[in-house]
Amino acid sequence: MSPDGGCAAFLGTAAAVGLGMRPRFKRFSLRAARWLLPASVLAVAPKCLLCLVAYAGIGAALGLRPAGLCGAAPGPAEAWAPWAAVFCVATVLASLAAAAWRRPEPGPGRPPDLDLGRIRRRVLLGGHPPGPMRILPLILLLPCLAAASGGKSAAVVDSEFVFENAPYPSCHASTLVQASSGEILAAWFGGSAESRPDVCIYLSRRQEGGWSEPVRVAEGLETGGVQLACWNPVLFQPRGGPLMLFYKVGPSPERWWGMLKTSADGGRSWGPAQRLPPGVLGPIKNKPVQLGDGTLLCGSSVEAPGGGWLVHLERTADLGATWEIGGPLDGGGRFNSIQPAILTYPDGRLQLLCRSREKLITTSWSRDRGRTWAPLEPSGLFCPNSGIDAVSLADGRQLLVYNWREHAGGGPADPGWGARWPLNVAVSRDGVRWDMVLTLESEPSREGYAYPAVIQAGDGLVHVTYTWNRRRIKHVVLDPARL
């Protein structure tokens, strides 16, 4: 359900029920209609302040916490759906109960039994005189139910799986890039299970009519024939350079190392694998950014054997020939953060958004092209210790894809990750206040919908891929003008 659909469903349904109450509640019905009918009309207008005020007022009167008001609050509108259903059912039942309680005693000229059909007609049609007002509640209810039906958001241009079947049972950690040819490519790791030696990197390209058959482009075969797992591929197309594929090889995140391959033909063939210098891991999950002077700034992190998580930045001015490693960001002893996403701003500032064990998204800012960074601090957003990604849009907004949570929880003593659903999209003008605009997935799933990757293509459309229940990779195309 979209945020606007949630508002329309809740307010419109309440208006319909209010208009359809028993005549004994006529005064209340009229007052409710005066409030709810205009509010339900306003609810279909996207992100309107009046709808926000009206919706919040009704929610406060019912003792509910506002979450997802026309997409303006940091929470999905689906949180209101159960309350809307309860409110609607309870109102109808209260009307029926009141009718039964006040029914007249049998006697001359009085019906001997309760006429349930008559009550049902009054509940549905309101007991108004003949005319359009008799069916107004139903007219209001139908579009509200349609809005709540969960249809595809107008912002979703396309939605598909990159592949339906694969020769391996598990896949994860996709990455996206638009190659210099204009083609959209996706890569991920797949095998029997994460960390198993047979896990390799696979790649597919989006063509007319769908995605190409996935091909293996990297494996963890070491000198001496030892096979180790591959992890977290990152595709990147620099200006004036070959397509780059970063990935990790090793038995675990605590002991892996960075690898790099390049392609001069848009990913159709690849050069030999190069091991990055000691201590250099490359972009750990999310794409790097290329600064104005051509330098690649890569968000990286370390998961130390002792349990600490530390974010740092790596930079290369010559597309991977030489590297410079920045010191770990100061978490103040409060945060264990990894896998930063880098955002850029017109005034030259850079922002990091990071996953954390504390189950909140941490953030940091730089004003000197990523040379120094402010200490990590809470962003006000929460997620279940799961990977995130973000992109700076051409219109100046920032777009974030992540597993939404209402509040934080856990810490270093609770390193596990919770249910990785729903998967949401939020946008921001300043990187501080984030507006929830879309829910990509909300159906409960054992493995969830996780580790999103997001880019904006040259035509302005936004492409998102993510792990779908650890079995497939899903691809969604969004029109940011409709967000």
Give the DSSP per-residue string, 106-146.
SBTTB-SS--HHHHHHHHHHTTPPSSGGGTHHHHHHHHHHH
406 — pLDDT class (breaks 50, 70, 90): confident
Cis peptide before 340 (omega within 30 of 0): no
10 Å CB burial of residue 347 (0-12, 13-18, 19+) is: exposed
Q: CA 91 from chain center: how many Å? A: 34
Same domain, 285 and 175: yes
Q: Do residues 80 and 3 make contact, with C-beta atoms less than 8 angstroms apart?
A: no
Instruction: Write out the H or E segment, with its range, that includes residue 423.
Output: strand 423-428
The DSSP output letter for 222 is: P
Identify the top-confidence range among 103-112, 207-216, 283-292.
Answer: 283-292
Same domain, 123 and 218: no
The pLDDT of residue 6 is: 46
Instruction: Write out the H or E segment, with its range, that includes residue 1.
Output: none
CATH number of domain containing 468 = 2.120.10.10
pTM to 2 decimal places? 0.74
Q: Write the CB contacts of 278 (distance below 8 Å, at least 6 apart in sequence).
A: none
Of the candidates 115, 147, 179, which is a domain's last residue? 147
Length, in residues, of the chain: 483
Instruction: Please count the structural domains in the chain.
Output: 2
Same domain, 280 and 402: yes
Segment 11-70, tens digit of pLDDT:
545 554 544 444 544 455 445 544 454 444 444 444 344 444 444 455 444 444 333 333
Same domain, 123 and 203: no
Which residue range(s) make up the domain with 89? 3-147
Same domain, 401 and 477: yes
Residue 449 structure tokens? 């919908």
Least confident residue range of 1-15, 175-189, 201-215: 1-15
10 Å CB burial of residue 60 (0-12, 13-18, 19+) is: exposed
Residue 374 structure tokens? 């402010």
Of the candidates 147, 180, 204, which is a domain's last residue? 147
Same domain, 167 and 89: no
Segment 430-475, tens digit of pLDDT:
999 999 999 999 999 889 999 999 999 999 999 999 999 999 999 9
The pLDDT of residue 231 is: 98
Angle, helices 3-19/136-147, rounded to nearest 10 degrees: 160
